[in-house]
Structure 1
Amino acid sequence: MRINICGVEIDKYSFDEVVELIINHALSQRKPEYVVTPNAMHIVTLQEDVEFQEIYRKAFLVVPDGVSLLWAAKFLQTPLSGRVNGTDLFEKLCAIASEKGLKVFLLGGRPGSAEKAKKTLVARHPSLQIVGTYCPPYGFESQLTELNSINSTIIEAAPHILFVGLGAPKQEKWIAANYLYLGVPISVGIGVSFELVSNMVTRAPVWMQKAGFEWLFRLIVEPSRLWKRYLFGNYTFIWLLIKQRLGLFKRLPNTKRSDHF
């Protein structure tokens, strides 16, 4: 079952159900798929970005990363089953991958963050096979040689799960352009999760995460980078929700998804 939030279809799975679906797909090594983890800014960006809409339409799973989406679903009287936070998902999948013998690759993040995240995760799970980490240079998406090098590195490493931390919508667009060629069973866009796991960026206290104020904590920690996203983005998101509740919102043309299961 899916919930429509401002024209975007969100899967109504619990955190544990999402983990199970991803692990089962990775183990089966069927047709490559990818997972997107929307928050309020994704919803706002999707209103105008047709390419982003198409990426969402083809996604294996669309799971609610932001607490704002849980609030929105309740406001629209179509509640979701819970939050599927990208960083929590990253950590849980790595924990299970260590038990199941699944190999993972970490692409993106700030310089050094993927390698530090690897050290942190392997210290927790000594049997975890992180078969590669790479932080591409700024502007790599327009450099054919760099793109080919990244693809060759990932293909040679042959991971079961590829975690991509390039920020939205760059990470989703890169995944969509490359996932079939790479042949990795599951690719997941996870934003700043490498930095959070490695403590390069401080994560909000648990009580703030549960209360839905993780965004506020991040704004306080990185105001110069995030103030426009959260202040203007949240205002736009709220207005879109009000329009939908009043029946004034028109469905986005390229977000109707087909079933994968």
Structure 2
Amino acid sequence: MSSGAAGAVGGAVGAGLGGRARVTVAGVTVDTLTEEQVVEHVVTALRQGRGGHVVTPNVDICRACSRDPEVRAIVEGADLAVPDGMPLVWASKLLGTPVPERITGADLIWSLSAAAASAGLSVYLVGGLPGVAVRAAEVLSDRHPGLRVAGVVSPPFGFETSAEGLAAVREALLRARPDLVFVGLGFPKQDRLIGLLRADLPHTWFVGCGSAIGFAAGAVRRAPEWMRRSGLEWLFRLAAEPGRLARRYLVDDLPFALRLLTSCLLRHAARRLRPDR
């Protein structure tokens, strides 16, 4: 079996923080929570003075974890990991350890901002092209009256390769001291940055949210709801940005997803054919 196929199996059940159920799918352990439960967990932790890190593994992230131990450690070190990708939801069901739903950073930026507005918590946005994060903050504030936006920053390309670039982002966040930070720089860049910042802001929750800031600002169009539910959001994004996403989706992710679902389907069939059933 290839390393990609080996990473496609899972099904183990364990316990996460606070006794939450966790399952392994595509070689990555995720929490079996609904989006509402994720929001409740984060807000409760903030009220108790505890920070954390939310990561949303999708097929691309699972594929990267199967090849790179450093990337796997980033995902395993997060306080909450929730599946962003219908193939992971389908695979978990075939394995007999279903997760309740797909949860994306693009959804969490709305639901967590709503909760922050209600609870009097502040948010901070990191990412996006110049002006995009500012627009996203305006849209979020309009949608959720009372939301406190502690600040926004759109770091220049390559900022993470220089001490000065990293220091500028770090100092901006230390001045703001936000409760929630949405970091939309793409995986694993955003989550490496979160790893550097957590020690300075131990009471803050960080969410690696990918393209969520661009979606919230309206700078990037999101797939219709029916495409998200049916696992076709990737196709919508591919049509919108073929030059950037063709290799990632068609050459890297699609074969991995097919191996994942085939492996899980075979395990599902073998389990149903066992004599003891």
Q: What TM-score, normalized to structure 1?
A: 0.89
Measured against aligned partners, the alpha-carbon deviations of 1:2-34 in whole angstroms (never above 9, x if no partner) come to: 11112210111111111100111122222x311
Task: Report the alpha carbon displacement of residue 55 of structure 1 after superposing the two structures with TM.
Answer: 1.5
What residue is the counterpart of 1:213 in the other structure? 232
How do residues 127-166 of structure 1 correspond to structure 2 at under 5 angstroms? 127-166=146-185
Alignment counterpart, residue 215 of structure 2, candidates 193, 196, 212: 196
Task: Report the alpha carbon displacement of residue 218 of structure 1 after superposing the two structures with TM.
Answer: 0.9
Measured against aligned partners, the alpha-carbon deviations of 1:144-179 in whole angstroms (never above 9, x if no partner) come to: 012111111101101001110000111111111221
Alignment counterpart, residue 7 of structure 1, candidates 16, 27, 31: 27
Task: Report the alpha carbon displacement of residue 185 of structure 1 after superposing the two structures with TM.
Answer: 2.0
The DSSP-based 3-state class of the residue aligned with 2:140 is helix
Note if 1:43 corresponds to 2:62: yes
Aligned equivalents of 1:156 and 1:57: distance in 2?
29
Measured against aligned partners, the alpha-carbon deviations of 1:110-162 in whole angstroms (never above 9, x if no partner) come to: 22221110011111123111111001011111110121111111011010011
Aligned equivalents of 1:20 and 1:218: distance in 2?
30
Q: Which runs of 5+ in 1 are unaligned?
A: 248-261
What residue is the counterpart of 2:103 in the other structure? 84
If you compute each CA radius of gyration, which structure gives the higher value, 1 or 2? Answer: 2
The share of aligned pairs that are identical, in percent, is: 39
Task: Report the alpha carbon displacement of residue 241 of structure 1 after superposing the two structures with TM.
Answer: 4.6
Q: Let me know the Cα RMSD of the aligned residues.
A: 1.5
Note if 1:58 corresponds to 2:58: no
Aligned equivalents of 1:84 and 1:38: distance in 2?
9
- Paired amino acid for 1:181: D
Alignment counterpart, residue 29 of structure 1, candidates 36, 40, 49: 49
Note if 1:19 corresponds to 2:36: no
Alignment check: 8 A CA contact 1:52 1:173 kept: no
Alignment check: 8 A CA contact 1:162 1:186 kept: yes
Greater length-normalized contact order (CA 8 Å, ≥ 6 residues apart): 1
Note if 1:223 corresponds to 2:242: yes
Alignment check: 8 A CA contact 1:34 1:186 kept: yes
Task: Report the alpha carbon displacement of residue 69 of structure 1 after superposing the two structures with TM.
Answer: 1.1
The DSSP-based 3-state class of the residue aligned with 1:38 is coil
Q: Which runs of 5+ in 2 are unaligned?
A: 1-20, 268-277
- Paired amino acid for 2:258: I
The DSSP-based 3-state class of the residue aligned with 1:83 is coil
Alignment counterpart, residue 89 of structure 2, candidates 70, 74, 79: 70
Alignment check: 8 A CA contact 2:183 2:207 kept: yes
- Paired amino acid for 1:113: V
- Paired amino acid for 1:134: V
Alignment check: 8 A CA contact 1:25 1:185 kept: no
Alignment check: 8 A CA contact 2:59 2:256 kept: no
Aligned equivalents of 1:221 and 1:245: distance in 2?
31
The DSSP-based 3-state class of the residue aligned with 2:126 is strand
Aligned equivalents of 1:207 and 1:240: distance in 2?
23
Note if 1:234 corresponds to 2:254: yes
What residue is the counterpart of 2:187 in the other structure? 168
Alignment check: 8 A CA contact 2:26 2:88 kept: no
Alignment check: 8 A CA contact 1:167 1:192 kept: yes
- Paired amino acid for 1:19: V
